[in-house]
Amino acid sequence: MSSAIEQSSSQPPSPLQPVRRFAVVTGASSGIGEAVARELARRGWGTFLLARRLERLETLAKELRATAPSTPLFVDLADPGAAQSVASRILSMHGPVDALVNNAGFGIYEPFLDHSVNDHRRLMQVNYHSPLSLMRAFLPSMRDRGSGTVVNVSSMSAKMGPWGHSGYAASKAALRALTETLDAEFSPHGVRLSCLFPGIVDTPYFREPRMQQLFEKVKHRAIPAERCARAVCDLVDAPRIWRCEPGFYRMLDALCALNARLAHALVARGSRPSSLSRVRPEHSGS
């Protein structure tokens, strides 16, 4: 095991060493999670970096150790028992952590009837059930210490399901609902949860073949991963029940309150493939 875990678990901090806060970041091998890990290290946090591509995590951890302790750990969050077992490993080697960033996730962009049942199950496992398991594992020690933060990376599609996102939007909406109810339960104990709703972020997320078509349509609205990562880290430092990034997406809530049909029509138009924009049901207008 890496020296970061050995140092933090076996030696009390010397008076000359800064007392570090430690965060678990899932999906740290790429995109937003990788940028979150860099930003946390820059802010002095020690990190546990989780994902499947261990070589990428090892390279990143080596870079981050110039600033703060960092430990790469393999986990496949599509495996139902994996989140619990990696969390137990961290807790037994290091002890409680100060923050959990549930960022790992993936999307599928295609019509509902083309999603296989397995696609739906996998989306729910990686994007919802695994974050839930990680929270079950880390929240008790946060509650016992009376401090800790969890940031769950959801998506704007959790607020208003766009075209082609049935499984993804459902998984991210479930994560949003869970965040809100857990904040109600844990904030009296000093533990705060936040949900981030990113809009379009320019990351390898869109390299998945089924996502490429969507990116062509929305790339003019994309923000860099680093900007999204700063929003995540700001929530770690100063929790809020939710935040949109970019912030102007909040306007969608206001529009929805005024005219939900119009808000949904705009979101559908912005996400539907251009080739389908003129398709009308056979009996429309009748």
Ligand X SMILES: NC(=O)c1ccc[n+]([C@@H]2O[C@H](COP(=O)([O-])OP(=O)(O)OC[C@H]3O[C@@H](n4cnc5c(N)ncnc54)[C@H](OP(=O)(O)O)[C@@H]3O)[C@@H](O)[C@H]2O)c1
Q: Least distance to ligand X from the beta carbon of 12, Å?
A: 33
Q: How far is the CB of 56 from ligand X (least distance, A)?
A: 6
Q: How far is 246 from 156, CA to CA, in rounded Å?
A: 10
Q: At what angle do helices 31-42 and 225-237 cross, to 10 degrees?
A: 50
Q: Is residue 58 within 8 Å of 50, Cβ to Cβ?
A: no
CB of 78 to ligand X, least distance (A): 4
What is the C-alpha to C-alpha distance for residues 235 and 71, in angstroms, rounded to an integer?
Answer: 22
- E strand map for 109-155: 148-153
Q: How far out from the chain centre does Cα 89 lie?
A: 21
128 among known catalytic residues: no
Which is nearer to ligand X, 52 or 217 (by Cβ)? Answer: 52
Identify which of 206, 180, 204, 212 has the alpha carbon closest to the alpha carbon of residue 193: 180
Q: Which helix (DSSP H) or strand (DSSP E) does residue 224 occupy?
A: strand 223-224
Helices (H) and strands (E) in the chain, counts: 11, 9
Minimum Å gap between C-beta 43 and ligand X is 19
- Sequence-distant (6+) residues with CB within 8 A of 143 are 186, 189, 190, 191
For 57-90, b where at least 16 C-beta lie within 10 A, e where not — what string? bbebbeebbebbbbbbbebebbeeebbeebbeeb
Considering the complex, what minimum distance in angstroms separates the CB of residue 193 from ligand X? 16
Size of the chain in residues: 286
Residues making contact with ligand X (CB under 6 A): 27, 29-33, 51-53, 75-78, 103-107, 126, 153, 155, 198, 200-201, 203-205
- Of 128, 168, 205, 249, which residue is the catalytic one? 168
Residue 277 has which token pair? 């924009």
Residue 54 beta carbon to ligand X: minimum distance, rounded to whole angstroms? 8
- What's the CA gap between 20 and 45, in Å, rounded? 6
Q: Known catalytic residues?
A: 168
